Amino acid sequence: MATDFLDWALADFSGYVAADELYDGPFCMLSAVDNRRYKRMLYEVLDHAPTHDDIRAFLGRLKTALDARDLTLRGVTTDGSSLYPEPLREVFGDVPHQLCELHVLAEIVKAVVGAVASERKCLGAKQPKLPRGRPRTKAAQKAARKKKRLEQKRVDLFTHRYLFVQHHLSQSERKTFWRITRGLPQLRMLREIMEQVYTLFDRRCRTQTARDKLAKLRRRLQRFKQLGETLKKLFSPTLEKALTFLDDKLLPSTSNAVERGNRRYRKMQKSVYRVRTQERIRARIALDMWREAQAQGRDQTLQALHEARAG
């Protein structure tokens, strides 16, 4: 089965691979998927957390399979794990290594949403404390209006927090954003920073151009110490590694191909709970790969049956 499946999976190999690890209790599943054809080529089930030696051996199997068929690896996409860079250099040399764009953006989005939450907390601390009962004096009435205004702003910031990280805003959403951030220039700065981050991953520019934009953005953040402390992720070297795909139009920027297989496994585990031993997990993944290989034939059969029934 392994040889036949590899022949099928590598028959139209694109040259680009997505690799990832999936943890399930004491077990870890390593997968290598064609990142453009969405075909899982290799897998390995470990009964311990993976090390560099495990990754090196797994990538060695992939290299052996490619060399046996005179195929060339043009790029690898992984998440931000530190397991892959060193073994990749040792096994494949200077092959371009792309970090998944979605994983990097998710960390930045989390930091921005956290900054909005911190601002909401600061607004809550600024609310005046009122005595019990209806406010009678002008000062108490003014304090009550201020408290109501700040509370409404906190509610609006929580309800519309997605506006700070959404990729594109419509005209009505932009009006809402300007309304809820009135008097809070630091929050408007967060939105501007997110828009600049999204432009870094624009396919129309090259990697060096994106890195120049990133350096300019980092210098801007250094002038605003509070934002710089909040958005430390923008100074991470993983962000630069996530821009590798800009120099290769065919190199996928995400590892969605391997993530799809991981999601199928998670869904299977919900309905087949007994699959919790190393041998069972290996068998279930092998079965999933074999069904994937037979999917094209099943689709053709179903299409022929539908056409015959319709005729």
Alpha-carbon distance of 96 to 247, in angstroms, equals 10
> Cα–Cα–Cα angle for 126, 128, 132, nearest 5°?
150
CB 43 within 8 A of CB 102: no
Task: Return the closest-CA partner of residue 83 out of 111, 44, 38.
Answer: 44
Q: Is 63 exposed, middle or buried (0-12, 13-18, 19+ CB in 10 A)?
A: middle
SS3 (DSSP) at 73: coil
User: 309 vs 67, which has greater pLDDT?
Assistant: 67
On average, the pLDDT of the chain sits at 87
Alpha-carbon distance of 278 to 294, in angstroms, equals 25
pLDDT digits (tens, 9 = 90+) for 202-256: 998 899 999 999 999 988 888 877 776 778 888 888 888 899 999 999 999 999 9
Task: Return the closest-CA partner of residue 29 out of 278, 310, 271, 230.
Answer: 278
CB 251 within 8 A of CB 244: yes
Q: What is the pTM of this model?
A: 0.81
- Report for 1-15, 65-79, 281-295: range of highest mean pLDDT: 65-79
CB 50 within 8 A of CB 83: yes
Alpha-carbon distance of 160 to 62, in angstroms, equals 46
Which band of pLDDT confidence, cut at 50, 70 and 90, is reported for residue 25?
confident
Which band of pLDDT confidence, cut at 50, 70 and 90, is reported for residue 275?
low
